[in-house]
Amino acid sequence: MSPSQTVTAGERLWSAVDHERPLQIAGAVNAMSALIAEQAGFRALYLSGSGVASASHGLPDLGVTTLHDVLEDARRITSATELPLLVDADTGWGDSRMIGRATRELIRSGAAGLHLEDQIAEKRCGHRPGKRLVSAIEMQDRLKAALDSRTDDRFAIMARTDAVDVEGVDAAIDRAARYVETGAEMIFAEAVASLDDYKRFTAAFGVPVLANITEFGKTPLFTVEQLSSAGVRLVLYPLTAFRAMNAAARNAYETLRRDGTQAELIAAMQTREELYDVLDYHAQEPD
């Protein structure tokens, strides 16, 4: 295949959205978890800003990580798998010039798309109280900066609105409609609490709507079937595996410290051969 015929990461994401309805997107905090998600059959991956902060830097999700931090994790994932990667770009890391740079750099990293949100720069987790929003006009400017800076027009630009929890569902839908008018190609409706509200979002405009099914938040753990019936086109599980990994690691450390042996843990571990299978180790091992 010639360079001009190469399928871009953005095209792979759009193809996945077309072929799986709704598209399940697995959160991956590193290359290994990305490979395991691929082996499990997922067609798309997600890099969470919260995941970058907590998994890679031991920091809370309060807008303290940088574009460089996100790019580093994104490159590690896209180097390991061709599954399309949607990246959390938070509020864009700065003004329109910085958002433009972030868009170009994420495309170069191999990412398939990004989402920008309408919180102020000093953001909070989307399921925490006390969120504050920028004006719809300022958010539209963020989106324009990303759209105008794309070097691949199939790189997806998604708009996330946190207005449901701050201004109410009607205002959130109004905001999302303005973001779509600006050119946003997908909508991420954060902290939606009912299927009826998802139906209102999906009926309001003709672009795919994403449901963020994160644990311990304000959105119930709706099933794929329920969300499909509400017209949702993308279902995101941003940190499910990461939380399970952390709980398993804590149990392993506590057991080792208490018992002085890992014998009790063996049955729950990934075996050496299972690891080698994920990595295709034997095919690459020198003779």
Taking the CA atoms of 223, 243, 79 and 70 in sequence, report the sign of the dihedral they define.
positive
- Alpha carbon of 2 to those of 6, 10, 106, 205, 224: distances in Å? 6, 18, 23, 37, 38
DSSP labels, 251-273? HHHHHHHHHSSSGGGGGGSPPHH
Bridge-based pairing state of the strands 85-88 and 113-117: parallel
DSSP labels, 162-186? -HHHHT-HHHHHHHHHHHHHHT-SE
CB 45 within 8 A of CB 25: yes
**Positions marked active-site:** 46, 61, 88, 90, 115, 117, 125, 160, 190, 212
DSSP labels, 112-131? -EEEEE-B-SS---TTSS--
